[in-house]
Structure 1
Amino acid sequence: MRDEDFEVFIEEFGEASHSFAVPEDVIDRWRGRLPEQLLTYWKDEGWCSYAEGLLATVNPQEYQDLIATWLKGTVFEALDDYHVFARSAFGKLYACGIRTGASLTISCPVHAIIALANDVKPQSEDSVNGSVSAFFGAAMQSSFDIEDEDGEPMFRRAVEKFGPLDADEIFSFEPAIVFGGKMALENLQKVKLHQHLMILRQLAPPKVPFSDVDIDRLMP
């Protein structure tokens, strides 16, 4: 039975457009490395794509190289063992840690890591599980879309132009935003997620909300 937070999420996003059942042995391998609430969602829902690919829950194993590359050289390497559990149609990666919960966003389109200081400190088990429930319960479709320079959402127009995304695809801007590209529909293209985000990271390091001097304050 779905909990209240996930019921609210489904009301907002609709039932999954695609889903893949997560094998029990895979769930067991992640036990102790990811919050139990997330594993419960995997068991009940699987790994799914929602709202035509606007948001998808994913297999963290397939994103290990990506998150390691994007976090390399940042304070987050020492704060927790982060794993990607969801991604947006525009290449935002949402990461979860066993000590800090669903607390980290890697906004690849704009080369930024997003986190709040209080959220990346070690949390109680209840708070860690609650962060996962809250991620879904508070999710709005507009939060995962990207607006163009006129403030207009782009996802639906991108789907109309390029067709639905496959599981290994995202929409990305060319030229890249980090190089002065504009958030405009004519600058969007459909690309392979992993290859593109690896190349994008090589263009420049991400902006981070904390510096190295903050590490002692954030560590237990």
Structure 2
Amino acid sequence: MIDFVDDSFECFYKDQGFGPVVHSKPVPPSKLAYYRGKVPDRLLQYWAAYGFAGYGDGLFWLTDPEEYSAVLDAWLEGTSFHGQDQYYVIGRSAFGELIVWGTRTGPCMKIVCAWAMIFPRAAPPQLPPSEADFLIGSWISGIEKEDLDETDEDDEPLFDRAVRLLGPLASNEMYGFVPALRMGGPCRIDHLQKVSTVEHLVFLAKLGKPEVMRDIVKEVDDQGLLD
């Protein structure tokens, strides 16, 4: 029986159906100490309790930011985000969608690497620690499987079929399209392969500059439409 850090993680694990944990790697105290003050304390509690691990049969992973630093640098280089904050990849999907946390700006963006899209999210200039913890809890409890799954050309989910066809993912693997979608490859199950996550995501970043999508929340706020 797993002991839950909080109600948010219990919701993620039970209600959203992401349990049980797979391929958990314990996080040493030295790493927890290094990231204290860089990411929310609540996230450190998750790491300490559950490790860097996969959930939902490998559909979603809580990641070691250090392992993804080169990936993040490759994707943010040449964008307006580069050098604006200390950014860390705190989660990823089986298809290479990255969740990025900024020390000052919090849940500031996600990067959908397969499609080379960056989705920025409105954030305050400086995020108070208490609000950061709240946002981490809200994020983990709000994750839904259908939002992480990739769909094929017929808009049919791919993850369960990929697991059956290719087998479950190891902690350093993802399902990647070969040839890459940006190289004209089709978005179909027969073009998915198990690939090394870090190597594949760096490769995808080198194919060209990503498209930074509109931050709709920020635009609405700037126009005062929520007042």
| Superposed pair shares fold, TM > 0.5 | yes
Mean alpha-carbon deviation: is it higher for 79-88 or for 172-181? 172-181
Q: How far apart are the structure 2 equivalents of 1:121 and 1:205?
A: 26
Which amino acid in 1 is paired with 2:154?
Answer: D
Of 173, 176, 189, the match for 2:177 = 173
Which amino acid in 1 is paired with 2:140?
Answer: F
Of 114, 135, 146, the match for 2:150 = 146
Which amino acid in 1 is paired with 2:43?
Answer: L
Q: How far apart are the structure 1 equivalents of 2:165 and 2:214?
A: 38
Provide closer, same or farther for how the CA distance between residues 121 and 111 of structure 1 changes in structure 2, counting only shifts above 3 A.
farther
Deviations 1:88-128 (A, max 9, x none): 10011111111122232111000011122x23643332222
Residue 110 of structure 1 corresponds to which residue in structure 2? 115
Matches within 5 A, 1:1-220: 1-11=4-14, 12=16, 13-116=18-121, 118-119=122-123, 121-209=125-213
Contact between 1:18 and 1:48, CA under 8 Å: does it hold in 2? yes
Contact between 1:86 and 1:94, CA under 8 Å: does it hold in 2? yes
Runs of 5+ unmatched residues, structure 2: 223-227
- TM-score w.r.t. structure 1 length? 0.90
Q: How far apart are the structure 2 equivalents of 1:122 and 1:206?
A: 26
Q: How far apart are the structure 1 equivalents of 2:191 and 2:9?
A: 34
Share of identical aligned residues, percent?
35
Contact between 1:85 and 1:94, CA under 8 Å: does it hold in 2? yes
SS at match of 2:100: strand
Count how many residue pairs are aligned between Structure 1 and Structure 2: 213
Q: How far apart are the structure 2 equivalents of 1:157 and 1:100?
A: 37
Q: How far apart are the structure 2 equivalents of 1:181 and 1:153?
A: 18
Contact between 1:98 and 1:128, CA under 8 Å: does it hold in 2? no
Which amino acid in 2 is paired with 1:51?
Answer: G
Deviations 1:11-70 (A, max 9, x none): 121120221111111100111111111111111221111122111111111111110111
Q: Compute the displacement of 1:209 (Å).
A: 2.8
SS at match of 1:142: helix
Runs of 5+ unmatched residues, structure 1: none
- Give the aligned CA root-mean-square deviation in angstroms: 2.1
Which amino acid in 2 is paired with 1:208?
Answer: V
- TM-score w.r.t. structure 2 length? 0.87
Q: How far apart are the structure 2 equivalents of 1:120 and 1:60?
A: 22
Provide closer, same or farther for how the CA distance between residues 195 and 134 of structure 1 changes in structure 2, counting only shifts above 3 A.
same
Q: How far apart are the structure 1 equivalents of 2:83 and 2:70?
A: 17
Bigger share in helix: 1
Q: How far apart are the structure 2 equivalents of 1:14 and 1:149?
A: 29
